[in-house]
């Protein structure tokens, strides 16, 4: 199926993939250059049931010594985290990689956009490796460069692009960071989104916020005093984003229709249910959650904020945490004196993050020992230059 529509003079085309192609993408056995998902991962992996995997990973890492630096995102499974030299959120890990100029190989146990950021921030002599190239991010996939450029053309045709500052969440592709850098914008994290938006509104009258609608809305309304009416939701799959020209002209925050598949699943019912089951429970959620969930929570903050809050909590306190399950389980095991539970009754891992498993890590490390660099992530120099500009602008924010 081919669909055509007009974006204020710019015609967009979308071709619906076949059922077979879609299935291959979901299995990680196909490729789609317009997204981060579903690229080939060549090589013979060890069997997941191999009882020697832990020993093999340890031996390979020891053989590489200081030549390799392994980064592990908080959402990774424990079998992978045990081999990480540093754990953290996406931006912390990218900065940690840049702070290790002597490490020839950066093995990033995270997802594609994180490895891209590490490549942007590290030297040309360093090689960033993603153990499974199919470890993408559904949120990052929701903002494709051609879609964002078409949206910008719409704003240009309406005469408002010059007054609009693009702001992108760290959870976006290098292409989107590059677009933001080319257009005078800034990257933000979940912990500095308000500072980034404050800066953006000093530069212009409105913001195009990519790709997570919830972080943008929650920051603007709950931290900056905007109203929900100041925010509009731009749907890239609809002509003009599904919005009338006056809606785009009047809006202060133009929110991209994107979300996190993990954090977006938490609902008000989840909050009501846990409060009924656990008297006195503290509800702690990530700002990628829906606006009504954030409103109903006791505390809201980034991954690092969630970890620090739990660490500082008194013994005997009860916490329902609305973020990825691997992290919640790890926190519960690390703090047995506290009652720590997942906010939702249903299990919810980050499925793409969990593609990085022990067999893939072993394979990547053993290939490096053999002198073969696999799954190297590289960002083209022009994109990297503009993306670095947007990242540097974030680092220059007050209090950064």
Binding-site positions for iminosuccinate = 73, 90, 169-171, 190, 286-288, 303
* Chain centroid to CA 92: 13
Closest CA to 77 of 87, 68, 69: 87
Beta bridge partners of 188: 169
Residue 187 forms beta bridges with which residues?
168
Q: How does DSSP classify residue 13?
A: E
Return binding residues: 73, 90, 137, 169-171, 190, 260, 286-288, 303, 350
Cβ neighbours around 85 below 10 Å, total: 15
Rounded distance between C-alpha atoms, residue 126 and residue 118, angstroms: 10
Secondary structure (3-state) at 12: strand
SS3 content of the chain, % helix, strand, coil (to 5): 45, 15, 40
Q: Which residue has the tokens 């890590």?
A: 361
- Cα distance between residue 77 and residue 95, in whole Å: 22
User: Contact at 8 Å (CB) between 173 and 199?
Assistant: no
Would you say how long the chain is, in residues? 400
Contact 359, 48 (CB under 8 A): yes
Q: Output the known binding site for [4Fe-4S] cluster.
A: 137, 260, 350
**Phi, then psi, of 207 in degrees rounded to 5:** -130, 135
Cβ neighbours around 172 below 10 Å, total: 31
Q: Is the peptide bond before 325 cis (omega within 30 degrees of 0)?
A: no
Q: What is the DSSP letter of 222?
A: I
CB atoms within 10 A of CB 262: 24
């Amino acid at each position: 199926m081919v669909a055509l529509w007009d974006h204020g003079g710019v015609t967009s085309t979308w071709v619906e993939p076949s059922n077979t192609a879609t299935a291959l993408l979901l299995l990680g056995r196909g490729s789609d250059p317009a997204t981060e998902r579903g690229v080939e991962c060549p090589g013979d992996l060890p069997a997941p049931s191999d009882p020697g995997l832990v020993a093999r990973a340890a031996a390979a890492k020891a053989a590489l010594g200081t030549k390799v630096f392994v980064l592990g995102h908080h959402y990774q499974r424990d079998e992978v985290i045990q081999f990480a030299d540093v754990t953290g959120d996406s931006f912390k890990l990218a900065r940690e990689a840049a702070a290790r100029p002597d490490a020839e190989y950066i093995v990033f146990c995270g997802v594609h956009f994180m490895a891209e950021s590490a490549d942007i921030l590290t030297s040309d002599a360093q090689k960033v490796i993603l153990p499974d190239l199919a470890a993408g991010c559904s949120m990052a996939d929701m903002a494709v460069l051609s879609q964002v450029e078409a949206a910008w053309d719409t704003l240009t045709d309406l005469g408002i692009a010059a007054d609009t500052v693009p702001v992108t969440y760290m959870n976006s592709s290098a292409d989107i960071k590059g677009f933001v850098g080319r257009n005078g914008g800034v990257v933000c994290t979940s912990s500095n989104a308000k500072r980034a938006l404050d800066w953006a509104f000093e530069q212009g009258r409105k913001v195009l916020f990519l790709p997570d609608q919830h972080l943008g809305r929650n920051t603007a309304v709950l931290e900056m005093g905007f109203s929900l009416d100041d925010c509009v939701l731009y749907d890239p799959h609809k002509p003009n984003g599904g919005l009338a020209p006056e809606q785009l002209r009047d809006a202060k925050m133009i929110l991209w229709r994107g979300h996190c598949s993990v954090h977006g699943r938490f609902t008000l019912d989840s909050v009501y249910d846990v409060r009924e089951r656990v008297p006195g429970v503290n509800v702690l959620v990530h700002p990628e959650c829906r606006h009504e969930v954030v409103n109903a929570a006791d505390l809201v903050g980034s991954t690092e904020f969630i970890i620090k809050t739990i660490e500082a909590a008194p013994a005997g306190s009860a916490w329902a945490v609305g973020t990825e399950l691997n992290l919640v389980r790890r926190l519960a095991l690390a703090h047995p004196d506290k009652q720590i539970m997942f906010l939702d009754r249903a299990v919810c891992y980050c499925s793409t993050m969990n593609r990085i498993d022990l067999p893939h890590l072993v394979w990547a490390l053993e290939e490096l020992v053999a002198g073969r660099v696999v799954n190297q992530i590289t960002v083209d120099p022009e994109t990297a230059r503009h993306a670095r500009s947007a990242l540097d602008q974030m680092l220059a924010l007050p209090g950064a």
